[in-house]
Structures are given as C-alpha cells and as structure tokens.
Amino acid sequence: MVETYDAVVVGGGPAGATAADDLARRGRSVLLLDRAGRIKPCGGAIPPRAVRDFAIPDHLIVARIRSARIVAPSGKKVPMPIEGAGYVGMVQRESFDEWLRERAAGAGAERRTGRFERVSRDADGTAVVEFASPDGTVARVRARSVVGADGALSAVAKQCVPSTRKTPLVSAYHEIVRVPRDVPDYDGTRCDVVYDGKLSPDFYAWVFPHGDTASIGTGSARKGYAPREAVAALRDRVGLAGAETIRREGAPIPMRPHRRWDNGRDVVLAGDAAGVVAPASGEGIYYAMLGGRLAAEAVEGLLSTGDARALAGARRRFMKDHGRVFWILGVMQWFWYRSDWTRERFVKMCGDADVQRLTWESYMNKELVRSKPVAHVKIFFKDLAHLLGLARA
C-alpha cells in the first residue's frame, strides 16, 4: 500500500514549512519532506511585516537592528538609522527554520527526512513522489498535489517546470563567527552593507549581527569569483579576522522570479525554487514565506475545485503585489552595482533623508510608499543627477 497525501511539500525552509503549516491548518493531509543538516547562507533579516503576518515569536529574534551603515568603495560610511521605535529582526536560520517545521508538524503535517528523487505517475495519473530515505532506500508516496520548495537548484522545478532553468543566480557565501566583546567599530544593533568591487564585482558584502555571533558574507554572479577570499578580506577589514568561525555555508540565490511556477496539473513552486529573492538586496525570508502561503492557497483551490488553473494564482497574486518592486530593484542592481564609480554615487545617494525614509518604510512594510508624491519626485531628480554624474560623490 502506498500512502496518499493531499499535498507533499518538498523542502523544509521558510517557504515549504509555511506552505505545510497553512495546508495542515486547513485540514489537509500533508507530508513535509526535508533534507537533514542543511542551513542556507543567509543574513537572517526579517522585517516587521513578516513578524506580523506569520506570527513570529520574540524568542526567535536574536538581534534587533536599529540602523544600517552603507560603505562605499572609497571607505566612506553613510549611516541609515531607522526612525522611531522600529527595528529589523535577525534570526538564526538553523533554529528559525526548525521552529517553522515544528509548527507545521504541530498543525498536523507529517515530517520525513529524505532527498527528493523524482515525480512519477501511477495508473490513474496521480503523482507519485519518490525520495531517498537516510538509509539509502527509496520510498514512494502518492500526492494529489506537490509544492516544490527545495531551493534555487530545485529538482522539482527542473523536472516539472523546466522553464525555470534559465534564471540567473548569485553564488552567496558567508561565515558565522563568534564576535568578541572588544571589537572596535562593531555595533550589534547595526547592519553593515559594503559596496566594493574588491569584495563583490556585481553584488555587495555584509556584516549582519546575530546576537553574540555575526554573519559575514558576500556574493556574485561572475564566473571565477572567489567568495572565501573576499570574506577573509572583509573579516580582516572589520577586525574579525581572528574571531572563532562557527560554520561556513554557500548556496546559489535566484535573482528573478520565474516566468512560471506551476506545471498546469498538480505541482506549484515556492520560495527560492520560484525565484522569489529580491534583486539588489538578496532578501528572501519574507518573500519565501509569502510564496509558501500563496502556494498553499493555490493548492487548496486545486483540491477544492479540481481546477488546475488555480495553481497559477500563486504567481499571479505575488507579481501583482510585488512585481513592480522586484522590477525596480532589478534595474537598480543592474545600474548601480556595475562599477565602483556607480557604487560610490549610490552610497552618496543613500545619505539623502528622503531616500532613507522611503527605503525603510518600503522595506519594513513590503510595499511601495505612495502617500508622499513630493518625496518621490525629489528622489527621482536626485537619482537622475547621480546617474548623469551631476552630483558629486
């Protein structure tokens, strides 16, 4: 006898765990399949919108960020404080992801450890998910629907939604280090974002506090790029070269939402597998959880009505609310990250009060701020001046 589930969710990160939790709470039978021991390299930032929308408890927030500091190739530092009592929460991915998986299990999802192999079909056309168990044996379960949330190199996507293969990727790498108490110029409530071609020719490097530890990382889409050497140089620059290294992690990050997230039948993608990492910033946790929720709603539509067209609703709804932001961020990354000359001017622009205010309001609430048209006009002309080189860096 082969077990049958309403949904098999492949991948137990924020997208998959959220999809499994939402579907289980709707009374659906859910199998959450995840590989053991893998932690994605991630700065770990979650905005207040994520805390509100997904009921993230305080004990998972290991640091509260009150400001960012943007660093130019020349070494110039521009502070970007968060106004009022707002903050950006920082989480440790190993404990954060596990808590999400346990929440899904508490809602009724069944957890299994294994590596996805493929989707086949039984005699009546129902999907059969095959996966390798930890002991090496191959297990099979039937699935009325499948959520592929297994990362940027998603095996589910490659087999079931092959158009995803053309999405550009950034190779991200970071090191989690234990921060000594006497490090000069280090602030556990501040994120440092470094724009320097020596550390990343087309992205950025970062130092993100995680309580008594910090994530120090970088990324690039360039072939031949050496991220370990770049992180070593950054650690030396910020006085953490001799700090204890707890672990090292690397993984690809997609930089553009895929044009299609479903197979038109019974499979839908979410999270990195759907390409929902914000260009320019590389932010993914909130968008992954939102993608997981939208995938769960699309699957519920499929299971309730039998109409496979419901699956396309996940991407359609995501792009309606966030497609414009992703497009703007993509253009910004394409132009401002292309050389140290443009990076220098970008950092200069980050010192503008209007830019800072609208940036934080948009980031914290995950929507474009439309209530201040005069500020947007001012930013447009300031941006144009920097773009044309009319403003001094």
The pLDDT > 70 percentage for the chain reads 93
With cut-offs at 50, 70 and 90, classify the pLDDT of residue 370. low
User: What percent of the chain has pLDDT above 90?
Assistant: 71
Distance CA(57)–CA(50), nearest Å, equals 11
13 CB-side CA count, 13 A = 28
**pLDDT the model gives residue 52:** 94
The answer to whether residue 390 scores a pLDDT higher than 50 is no
Which residues of the chain does CATH 3.30.9.10 include?
Answer: 66-90+170-253
Q: Which long-range contacts (CB under 8 A, 24 or more apart) does 378-386 make?
A: 378/354, 379/352, 379/354, 379/355, 382/349, 382/352, 382/354, 382/355, 383/349, 386/345, 386/346, 386/348, 386/349
Average pLDDT over residues 285-313: 97
Average pLDDT over residues 73-88: 91
pLDDT at 244: 96
pLDDT surpasses 70 at 371: no
Judge whether residue 388 has pLDDT over 80. Answer: no
Residue 202: what residue type?
D
What is the structure's pLDDT at 281?
A: 85
C-alpha dihedral sign at 205, 14, 38, 129: negative
- Is pLDDT above 50 for 376? no
Supply angle C-alpha 234, 72, 329, rounded to 5. Answer: 100
Q: Is the pLDDT of residue 34 over 80?
A: yes
- The architecture (CATH level 2) of 4-43+92-167+255-322 comes to 3-Layer(bba) Sandwich (3.50)
Class of the CATH-defined domain 66-90+170-253: alpha beta
- Burial (CB < 10 A; 0-12, 13-18, 19+), residue 111, is middle
The C-alpha atoms of residue 357 and residue 305 are separated, in whole angstroms, by 45
CB atoms within 10 A of CB 320: 9
Whole-number pLDDT of residue 257 = 93
Mean pLDDT over the full length of the chain: 90
Q: What is the pTM of this model?
A: 0.91
C-alpha to C-alpha distance for 185 and 167, rounded to whole angstroms: 38
CATH 3.50.50.60 range(s) for the chain read: 4-43+92-167+255-322
CA angle 247, 250, 255 (to 5 degrees): 145
Q: Bridge-partner residues for 268, per DSSP?
A: 147, 262
Which amino acid does the sequence have at 269? L
Most confident of 110-124, 361-375, 377-391: 110-124
pLDDT in tens, 176-208: 999 998 899 999 999 999 999 999 999 999 999
Provide the token pair at 371. 């209530």
pLDDT for 147-176, tens place per residue? Answer: 999 999 999 999 999 887 777 888 999 999
